[in-house]
């Protein structure tokens, strides 16, 4: 019999620490999960690319339509026609797979958020695809003005012969740039929901954000024209201001 029993005392064993680590993923598990999400995204892009490749010839005709004066496109490389159709297929695959890509990103990030944060951010997943589609739509509207601006500098002594591969590289890059960069309001809203940024912080950073928008718009838009970066920069700035208003109205 111990001294504590002799004195009529009940000995309470020390509390064992809860094993909270059982619900925490290790670094290897995180990397494995990331690999799974990337593979699924790539498979979705591949499936969309198959559809894009099947309709590549029709898509070529649609993308060529905005050119003024029905200008012909020339090919200077034996592999250029295949490379053009392959690039078109990949871009179409990315556009069609965007809902899957957004969902895979969300599935990877969501476990690290609280239930309240997940509930708040989840409705914005649909808007992420809407903004991407809106960016592609704006690029389609801008395309004839951008190509017309660039072709307006030819003279009687210099006539532009449009290389097909360069033209479709220009178009596909323009579409992806507009689509991806218009996702940034969704990112800002998501960061505000988890307490990383506030409307006041965004207002104080307005000058730096405007400078960053101008640099990014000029850097990612191909062709060197003034129309594409101007429209993209203006659109991003308007969305930035609307995002500030939205975040402020949410009380953050």
Q: Judge whether 186 lies within some domain.
A: yes
Q: Judge whether 14 lies within some domain.
A: no
pLDDT at residue 223, as a whole number: 60
Which residue range forms the structural domain that includes residue 51?
26-154+162-249
Positive or negative torsion for Cα 54, 56, 57, 61: positive
**How many helices (DSSP H) and strands (DSSP E) are in the chain?**
11, 2
Q: Judge whether 53 lies within some domain.
A: yes
What is d(CA 162, CA 211) in angstroms, rounded to the nearest whole number? 33
Q: Which runs of E-coded beta strand occur in 29-88?
A: 73-74
Q: Judge whether 5 lies within some domain.
A: no
pLDDT at residue 178, as a whole number: 82
Q: Judge whether 18 lies within some domain.
A: no
181 close to 215: Cβ distance less than 8 angstroms = no
Q: Judge whether 11 lies within some domain.
A: no
Burial of 140 (0-12, 13-18, 19+ CB in 10 A): middle
For residue 37, give Cα distances in angstroms to 111, 145, 147, 217. Answer: 13, 38, 38, 29
Q: Judge whether 56 lies within some domain.
A: yes
pLDDT at residue 194, as a whole number: 66
Positive or negative torsion for Cα 201, 207, 208, 209: positive
Q: Which helix (H) or strand (E) holds 28?
A: helix 27-54
176 close to 94: Cβ distance less than 8 angstroms = yes
pLDDT at residue 222, as a whole number: 66
pTM above 0.75, yes or no: no
What is d(CA 144, CA 148) in angstroms, rounded to the nearest whole number? 6
pLDDT at residue 16, as a whole number: 45
Domains of the chain: total? 1
pLDDT at residue 33, as a whole number: 81
H, E, C per residue of 145-196: HHHHHHHCCCCCCCCCCEEHHHHHHHHHHHHHHHHHHCCHHHHHHHHHHCCC
pLDDT at residue 224, as a whole number: 61
pLDDT at residue 18, as a whole number: 41
pLDDT at residue 44, as a whole number: 92
Low-confidence ranges of the chain (pLDDT < 70): 1-27, 68-71, 117, 155-156, 159-160, 194-195, 222-225, 250-251
Tell which residue, 167, 169, 159, has the closest CA to residue 65. Answer: 167
Q: Judge whether 200 lies within some domain.
A: yes
Give buried/exposed letters for 167-204 (b at 16+ CB in 10 A, else e): bbbbbbbbbbbbbbbbbbbbebbbbbbeeebbbeebee
């Amino acid at each position: 019999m111990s001294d504590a029993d002799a004195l009529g005392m009940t000995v309470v064993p020390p509390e064992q620490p809860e094993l909270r680590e059982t619900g925490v993923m290790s670094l290897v598990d995180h990397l494995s999960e990331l690999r799974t999400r990337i593979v699924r995204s790539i498979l979705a892009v591949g499936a969309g690319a198959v559809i894009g490749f099947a309709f590549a010839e029709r898509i070529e005709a649609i993308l060529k339509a905005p050119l003024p004066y029905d200008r012909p496109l020339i090919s200077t490389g034996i592999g250029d026609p295949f490379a053009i159709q392959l690039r078109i297929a990949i871009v179409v695959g990315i556009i069609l797979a965007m809902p899957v890509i957004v969902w895979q990103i969300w599935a990877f990030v969501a476990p690290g958020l609280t239930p309240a944060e997940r509930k708040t951010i989840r409705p914005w997943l649909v808007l992420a695809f809407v903004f991407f589609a809106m960016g592609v739509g704006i690029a389609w509207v801008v395309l004839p003005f951008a190509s017309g601006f660039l072709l307006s500098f030819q003279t009687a002594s210099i006539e532009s012969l449009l290389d097909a591969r360069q033209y479709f590289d220009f178009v596909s890059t323009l579409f992806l740039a507009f689509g991806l960069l218009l996702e940034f309001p969704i990112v800002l809203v998501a960061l505000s929901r988890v307490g990383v940024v506030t409307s006041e912080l965004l207002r104080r950073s307005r000058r730096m954000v405007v400078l960053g928008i101008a640099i990014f718009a000029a850097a990612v838009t191909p062709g060197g024209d003034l129309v594409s970066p101007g429209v993209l920069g203006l659109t991003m700035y308007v969305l930035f201001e609307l995002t500030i208003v939205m975040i402020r109205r949410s009380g953050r």
